[in-house]
Chain A
Amino acid sequence: MAQLIAKLFPSTVLRPMEIGADASILLAVLAVVYILTRYRKWGWLWREWITTVDHKKIGIMYLIAAIVMLFRGGVDALMLRTQLALPNGHFLGPEHYNEIFTTHGTIMVFFMAMPFIFALFNIAIPLMIGARDVAFPKLNAISFWLFAFAALLFNMSFVVGGSPNAGWTAYPPLTELHFNPGVGENYYLIALQITGIGSIATGINFLVTILRMRAKGMSLMKMPLFAWSALVTSSLVIFAFPALTIALALTMLDRLFGSTFFTIAHGGMPMMYVNLFWIWGHPEVYILALPAFGIFSEVVATFSRKRLFGYAAMVGSLVAITLLSYGVWVHHFFTMGAGAAVNAFFGISTMLIAIPTGVKIFNWIFTMWGGRIKTTVAMLWQLAFIPTFVVGGATGVMLAVVPGDYQFHNSYFLIAHFHNVLIGGVVFGLFSGLYYWWPKMFGYMLNERQGKWAFWFFVIGFWVTFFPQYLLGLKGMTRRIYTYPHGMGWTLLNLISTVGAYAMGIGFIILVYSVVYSWRHQERDLTGDPWDGRTLEWSLPSPAPEYNFAVLPEVTERDAWWEMKQAGKTGRIPAKDVHSIHMPRNTPMPFLLGLSFFVAGLGAVFSWWYVAVAGMMGVFIILVSGWFDYHDHHEIPAEEIRRNEAALGRLEG
């Protein structure tokens, strides 16, 4: 018993900061339970959200989870910056610092950026291509719940059992059981494995949805560019994630079952882990960046009130980036010393990616050229993205120069570079998409004035945080050090960087405040087309009804909705064209499947094999019963759709 308690609550989870976090989590949970009970919302939560298979609601759930995770990852970041603000900091101990930078990176990549992107896919893609749902709605819900329970499992680590502490890359020998006892790394391995299953399923789902469910007449070259970016991103997910699955599975076998794949003392190859990790890891960078490129392509065309410049070149460069991104992974470990030929090959292939990316930058600029630009918040993020991403891309090319990389490698120059592309490219893009599609999701506008405050705090904060880090890297400060002495010349730059980080935190708080404020006070979007949009999602009411399109649209041109508006073909729907629609029926199966994986994962983390086996039995039973569930449709009668559309003022007569 004492042994069990020592395993569940080692000293690393009993530090004052962790206890404080425990208390606030407990209070938050109690508040949610109280509100749900007080207002009798449990049934609503179960029927409308937990069991839903509607892509729009799944998208909203992904979004909420991503924002919560952005908060957690952001608090981690502020703790790191607080520790580094001044020399000889005592805010975090060395072990604590390792844990925090590990969870910061892991959460931001797997549990913030990925779900945020899947949120926007879910919300926008089916509406954009004129579909009524994704190809496999139940699988879509399964993906979400696997992600959600994996996120829960990962986030539990710092409360129960101890955080992972080997960095978000989890290289051996740092992860070897011999050097890293305790369950922290098990949490990392198992949680990522579970969310990875969900990610691959999402990749398959959107690949099939986009290839098979486009509206009549929407050929591939008439698709909105965001749909193109989702298509190539899906193919990247499908081909890249299996390498991560293998890398994590082999590490798990090493830790839990005594194999020695990566144990050098027994003939293992730790470098093979690094190789496998980055075979996934580099395409992953583009899994995050390409959807942001897609969002910007929609936003820039809408708010420049012009069609996108160079559509075919944009599609071509997306495909080129996709193919090239499979062939550059060694640039993450040039210093491993794989030889001049290997490093030269991967250095050059890395530089090649700058070409299609440059093509895209020019096309966005030429789209704005001569346009009537409206500087909405969504457009501001786009305007901030272009210079930021150009700097991030240029420092990336500097890192691709192999001899230079031997100097820059694992210094703060690298840290500054990848935050420059991942925040300047991905997060700016996600915020742009958030503001752009918010009215479509929730039916109300976000306050623009507050949005601009959040924007300026975040963007200026970003530059104040990360520009000094380039200089710190050049002055020799390496990553993952928890403190530094006086007299290195790093103090002022570190202090400035920390100030910037807090400014970004303020930007985030303003954004969250703005969401709550706008929900209470901001105008409703009654037209469904608040931005005078160009693509099909703006032809629908906000939020879109369950069935999306009462009558499926027919597409003749690129920017279909814009062309319909120009041709005056936006009239009301004739009642005779409305038919009954088979919609997928809500099911608790995805939620229960996620729960079973959670139980199995928890069992594996603590090597409680009876719990793990029970969880996997649950998985098996739920899958089999799911296969024989023939009542997975319900029909919305044509009459109900006509009534609904008439209430929205969209039915003829």
Chain B
Amino acid sequence: MTQVQRPPAISAPTGRGDEVEIAILAPRFEEHAFPWRQIFGYAASLILTMAALLLVVHHVLPPVGLIVAILALATIQASLQLGLFMHLRESLGSTWHVVTLALAIVVALGIVIFSIWIMSFKSGVS
């Protein structure tokens, strides 16, 4: 595991007159000789997606079992992608991660739960 040399970070001038200031967000992340982790994440995501598709296409389980199975596969894939691609473990400060993740979970759960509630109207009115 090698830490690549970081470009100069944005900083207030020190007055020595020799530094270069960078105009964009200085990239700060770990880089490895070969991106094994990302390739694993990509392959695993493809396999999980294919698995969900095959389960449904061939009706391997009864409907309720199918829904539970594909929700489980989706949850695994979501956490895999968050962990492997979203630089969650590489952050300098975790405050914003907590805020955005909390908002993401609230919004995602809200959309799913409310949609089920809204769409169950067929049994409610008839």
Chain A interface residues toward B at CB < 8 A: 131-137, 208-209, 211-213, 216, 235, 239, 243, 269, 271-272, 275-276, 279, 326-327, 330, 336-339, 341-342, 547-548, 551-552, 554, 576-577, 579-584, 635, 638
- Knowing A275-B115, A547-B23, the reply to whether A337 touches B125 (Cβ < 8 A) is yes
Asked whether B62 is an interface residue with its Cβ less than 8 Å from the other chain, the reply is no
Complex Cα gap A552–B10 (Å): 10
Q: Which residues on the B side are within 8 Å of A638 (C-beta)?
A: 17
Asked whether B60 is an interface residue with its Cβ less than 8 Å from the other chain, the reply is no
Complex Cα gap A554–B125 (Å): 61
- CB A474 to nearest CB in B, in angstroms, measures 27
- Knowing A132-B23, A579-B20, A582-B20, the reply to whether A275 touches B118 (Cβ < 8 A) is yes
Complex Cα gap A211–B7 (Å): 20
A-B contact pairs, 29 of them (CB 8 A): A131-B23, A132-B21, A132-B24, A133-B23, A135-B25, A137-B24, A208-B25, A212-B25, A239-B103, A243-B111, A269-B119, A271-B119, A272-B115, A326-B107, A330-B118, A338-B124, A339-B121, A339-B125, A341-B124, A342-B121, A552-B13, A576-B17, A577-B13, A579-B20, A579-B21, A582-B24, A584-B23, A584-B24, A635-B20
- Knowing A133-B24, A584-B23, the reply to whether A577 touches B121 (Cβ < 8 A) is no
* 0 or 1 for each of B20-32: is its CB under 8 Å from A? (1 = yes): 1111110000000
Which 4 residue pairs across A and B have the least CB separation, nearest first? Answer: A132-B23, A339-B124, A135-B25, A338-B121
User: What is the chain B residue whose CB lies nearest that of A279?
Assistant: B111
Q: Judging by beta carbons under 8 Å apart, are A216 and B12 in contact?
A: yes
Q: Which residues on the B side are within 8 Å of A132 (C-beta)?
A: 21, 23-24
Q: Which residues on the A side are within 8 Å of B13 (C-beta)?
A: 551-552, 577, 579
- CB A471 to nearest CB in B, in angstroms, measures 32
Asked whether B54 is an interface residue with its Cβ less than 8 Å from the other chain, the reply is no
Chain B interface residues toward A at CB < 8 A: 7, 10, 12-13, 15, 17, 19-25, 96, 100, 103-104, 107, 110-111, 114-115, 117-119, 121, 124-125
Q: Which residues on the A side are within 8 Å of B119 (C-beta)?
A: 269, 271-272, 275, 338
User: What is the chain B residue whose CB lies nearest that of A205?
Assistant: B25
- Knowing A272-B119, A339-B124, the reply to whether A576 touches B103 (Cβ < 8 A) is no
Q: Which residues on the B side are within 8 Å of A135 (C-beta)?
A: 24-25
Complex Cα gap A137–B110 (Å): 33
Q: Which residues on the A side are within 8 Å of B107 (C-beta)?
A: 239, 326
Complex Cα gap A405–B96 (Å): 40
Q: Judging by beta carbons under 8 Å apart, are B24 and A554 in contact?
A: no
Complex Cα gap A9–B111 (Å): 42
User: What is the chain B residue whose CB lies nearest that of A137?
Assistant: B24
Q: Which residues on the B side are within 8 Å of A580 (C-beta)?
A: 19-21
Complex Cα gap A279–B124 (Å): 21
- Knowing A337-B121, A337-B125, the reply to whether A583 touches B20 (Cβ < 8 A) is no
User: What is the chain B residue whose CB lies nearest that of A329?
Assistant: B114
Q: Which residues on the A side are within 8 Å of B110 (C-beta)?
A: 326-327
Q: Judging by beta carbons under 8 Å apart, are A552 and B24 in contact?
A: no
Complex Cα gap A547–B25 (Å): 14
Complex Cα gap A327–B106 (Å): 11
Q: Which residues on the A side are within 8 Å of B7 (C-beta)?
A: 582
Partner of B21 from the list A243, A582, A584 (CB cut-off 8 Å) is A582
Complex Cα gap A132–B26 (Å): 12
Q: In the complex, given contacts A133-B23, A137-B24, A576-B17, what are 18 additional A-B residue pairs having Cβ atoms less than 8 angstroms apart?
A: A132-B23, A135-B24, A135-B25, A208-B25, A216-B12, A243-B111, A272-B119, A275-B118, A339-B121, A547-B23, A552-B12, A576-B15, A577-B13, A580-B19, A581-B20, A582-B7, A582-B22, A582-B24
Complex Cα gap A341–B60 (Å): 36
- Knowing A326-B110, A576-B15, A577-B13, the reply to whether A136 touches B20 (Cβ < 8 A) is no
Complex Cα gap A338–B23 (Å): 52
Q: Which residues on the A side are within 8 Å of B115 (C-beta)?
A: 272, 275-276, 279
- CB A395 to nearest CB in B, in angstroms, measures 24
Q: Which residues on the B side are within 8 Å of A584 (C-beta)?
A: 23-24
- Knowing A239-B104, A339-B124, A339-B125, the reply to whether A213 touches B10 (Cβ < 8 A) is yes
- CB B78 to nearest CB in A, in angstroms, measures 12
Q: Which residues on the A side are within 8 Å of B15 (C-beta)?
A: 576-577
Complex Cα gap A618–B85 (Å): 24
- CB B59 to nearest CB in A, in angstroms, measures 13
Complex Cα gap A337–B126 (Å): 10
- Knowing A337-B121, A342-B117, the reply to whether A581 touches B17 (Cβ < 8 A) is no
Complex Cα gap A131–B117 (Å): 45
Complex Cα gap A359–B36 (Å): 52
